[in-house]
Amino acid sequence: MNILTDQEKAICHCLMISEADFIASKIEDLQLALQRENNITETEAKEKVMKLMGISPAEAKKREAVEAKRAEAHEPLSDEELKVCRSLGVEPLEYQQAKLEEAGISVKI
């Protein structure tokens, strides 16, 4: 089974790279192209939602920052945060609650 064309094999020979490396490079290029395509689609969708809902670009940026902060507050504590909590005598649950409250999420633990 030939995966590469004769021209691609000649390129590999001239550049002194293995066929496997050439194939891996082609796959990486395709993945990057797909990511760019998905980003464009997400950007277009964002613009449509903003327009329909009457959200200005500045307001959208502000809302995204708030949501990112909320998402971060919900993430489990990192090993470093746990170590620091223990070294300072702070209960990890209290610290997690403080993170949630700082993000505007009212939770009683």
Query: How confident is the model over 19-29, as pLDDT tens digits?
Result: 888 898 888 98
Domain count, the chain: 2
Same domain membership, residue 47 and residue 18: yes
Cα(27)–Cα(81) distance, rounded to whole angstroms?
38
Same domain membership, residue 1 and residue 51: yes
pLDDT at site 74: 84
Does residue 105 have a pLDDT over 90?
no
Percent of the chain whose predicted confidence (pLDDT) is above 90: 35
Same domain membership, residue 42 and residue 2: yes
Same domain membership, residue 97 and residue 47: no
Q: Which domain holds residue 91?
A: 56-109
Same domain membership, residue 85 and residue 39: no
Q: Of the residues 34, 55, 76, which one is the last residue of a structural domain?
A: 55
Same domain membership, residue 103 and residue 80: yes
Cα(22)–Cα(66) distance, rounded to whole angstroms?
43
pLDDT tens, position by position, 34-66: 888 878 888 888 999 999 999 999 999 999 998
